[in-house]
Every structure is written in C-alpha cells, then in structure tokens.
Amino acid sequence: MLEASEQAAPADTVSDGKPRYSVRKTGTQDTKDLKKKTADLKEPDNLKTEVIYDEKDNTYTIGTSFSGSEGSSAGQGTRGGSSTGTRGSSSSGGRGGGRSQNTSSASSTGAAGASSGSIIPGRAGFTLGTATSFLNAPVLMSPEEYQEWSLQNSMQQYWRQKNAEAFEAEGKNKFDFTDMHFSLGPAEKIFGPGGVQIKTQGSAELKVGVNSKKVNNPALAASRRKTIGFDFDEKINLSLNGKVGDKINMNLNYNTQATFDYDAQNLKLKYDGKEDEIVKLIEAGNVSFPSNISLVPGVSSLFGLRTDVQFGKLKIQSVVSQKKSSSSSVSSKGGSQTTNFEFSATNYEENRHFFLSHFFRERYDKNMESLPTISSGINIK
C-alpha cells in the first residue's frame, strides 16, 4: 500500500499538487482572485459578485454573496439618515460606507429600505448590496483599479460569448459538397485571409441504351447478321469555382452542349498580386492576351501561361501558349452569303442517298431487284 506522500497525483494536477488548469476562486480574497483563468468553471447560480461604491471614500467594494440574501440588492437610493441628507447615528460609532461592522437606521424618504447593514448609495449599472451579506471579506479598489478590472472583465465576457456562439454555429453547419470551406491556418500569411472555398454548381444527365440491329443478308454469316451495341448520351454542364485566400482563383467549366469547341472545356488558374508586389498577375489554362497596340493584335482562346510583372514604371506582359482557335473569311454578294467548300464523293450525309450520275439512276431499279443483295457490280472507293 502506498503512503500518502507516494500516491500518484490526479490527472488534473502536476507533480507538486497544484492544479494543472487553474480556475478562479468562488470567493474573492484579493484582486488576483477576480481575474479570469484559462479554464474557468461555470459560476454557481446562487452566488454572484456585487460591486458597492462608497461616495465618501471614493472606493469600490467587490465581494461574493448569495443571490437570495436579504438586502443583497436594491434600487438606487440615498445614504441612510434624515430627510435633509444628514447621516443617522451608528450603533457602533464607526463610519458607514461599506465597512462590515457598521449599522445605521434610516427613516428618510427615498431611502432604499432598512436592513441589518448600511445601504450604500448606488449608480446606474451597479448592483447595490450590504456589507453583512458577503460570504467573506470584500476587496477594495480605487476608481482606476475598478475601471481597469471592469474593462478587462467586459472584454473577456464578450469574447467568451462570441466563442460560444461560433462553437454552437459550427456544430450546426453540415458538410455541403456544393459549398466547402477549409481553413488555411498559418498559410494565410502567404495567401491572405479567407481560407479555401470551393463552390460547385451545374447539372448532369446520362442516358444509357442498347441498340440491336439485324440484317437478313444471305451473303453474311448467321452470327454476323445480328449486332448489339450500347448507346450513351450524356449532357453535362458543370461549373466549379475555387478560392485560396484572396490571391488565387480557380474556374473550371465543362459543357458538352457548348456551341464552340473551346468553350466546352474551360480551365483557368489565376493569381492576383498586391499593388506593391512585383508579380501582378499569373494565369494558367485558358488565357487571353489583349493588346492596345495596332501592330501587335490581341489574341484570345489561348491555352498556356501568362504573366504580368512590373518593375517601377516598366510593365512586362508575356504569354506562352497554344492557339486553339482559327480564323475564316466570309463574303456576301447580292444580299446572299456565299461560302466555298469541298468534299469527297464518299463523304455524303448519313442516312441520305443521292444519285451520282444518270448512269446509276437508270440502273437503280434493276440493281435492287434481288434485295437484300445488290447486283450493281460497282464499288465506289
């Protein structure tokens, strides 16, 4: 059996027996006991801290009392005494004003009421109490000390309330795939405040089917007359926007129904520098290169890397990319638009037939007499 001196310290204490996480004392004995600690516990509901102001001594008395004590609180009043404001007699001959052993009788109009202790005059915002209602000896403070303590206590209560509200709100927020937020932590010094934000929106439609085709052609083997294949048809319109701090933006667009090919897939990563930074802009992905000079026209629909830097009054814009667009010319004559084009005889439109010449037109019926076998004897390559 271990001796008392050899027993292990509790988990919430260190080896010297002192609390690992100190808390504020319930009853105040000096000014240090009034300060908030790192892990303050919830104050009991039947205890409260009262502040009493003594006009004569210009001091503040702070103590702890039961919330249900007689005379522990009162409205604004005047010092006990006659109706002209003079002091009443004290049974102990001592001075009033917050000392624990002084009593006086009060019969004037406007007094808060009689009790076992002397009632101290109060002001708006203070809780009035009697010296005899304190659980232990109160603490006296000068006006300067009280203002400093009151300000510190108010700030701590404010931040405690904000932290509690933030903690409660964080527990209510559920993970949303379309709107995600992450904290950067120490990396905010590099990328700026705001954390990581990813927003996703769009729609996706996928159709899956099966095509079965059977051709009664005696020239084909029986196993090859019937074919089965899958048919996929997708319609996707997806947009993703991401931010890292206040410097990096990312945009991603994917649209299978876009009119132009370069609009079907659009990816851009952008870095915006501050006013006092050398690197003003970095873009990667689908970029454009505007130009205000007529000799060097601007170009759009590029895929590559673009950078803008500035050294004093010298600005440099550079781009390394691949051009994904093409230029074409269209002419109109007589109010109608004409376009020249060329195509091979074999590149005719699917599911539409036409005669290449009168030779095929005159022999069409004869060649189709033995369907499904075509007896034309001509192969076009």
Asked if residue 108 lies in contact with residue 83, where contact means CB atoms within 8 angstroms, the answer is yes
Alpha-carbon gap, residue 69 to 128, rounded angstroms? 12
Alpha-carbon gap, residue 281 to 302, rounded angstroms? 16
pLDDT for position 27: 62
Tens digit of each residue's pLDDT (9 = 90 or more) over 273-289: 888 888 888 998 888 88
Alpha-carbon gap, residue 183 to 88, rounded angstroms? 66
Alpha-carbon gap, residue 108 to 86, rounded angstroms? 10
Q: Are strands 265-272 and 336-338 parallel, antiparallel or unpaired?
A: unpaired
Asked if residue 381 lies in contact with residue 347, where contact means CB atoms within 8 angstroms, the answer is no
pLDDT for position 9: 47
Most confident of 32-36, 237-241, 272-276, 321-325: 237-241
Asked if residue 140 lies in contact with residue 60, where contact means CB atoms within 8 angstroms, the answer is yes
Alpha-carbon gap, residue 240 to 269, rounded angstroms? 12
Asked if residue 126 has pLDDT above 50, the reply is no
pLDDT for position 128: 44
pLDDT for position 325: 66
Tens digit of each residue's pLDDT (9 = 90 or more) over 297-318: 777 778 889 999 998 888 888 8
Triad 67, 70, 71: Cα angle to 5°: 95
Beta bridge partners of 187: none
Alpha-carbon gap, residue 228 to 212, rounded angstroms? 4
**pTM for the whole thing?**
0.39
Averaged pLDDT, 224-253: 87
Q: Which residue, among 182, 214, 227, 157, has the nearest Cα to 372 in the 3D structure?
A: 214
Return mean pLDDT, the chain: 71
Lowest mean pLDDT among 126-130, 216-220, 242-246, 284-288: 126-130
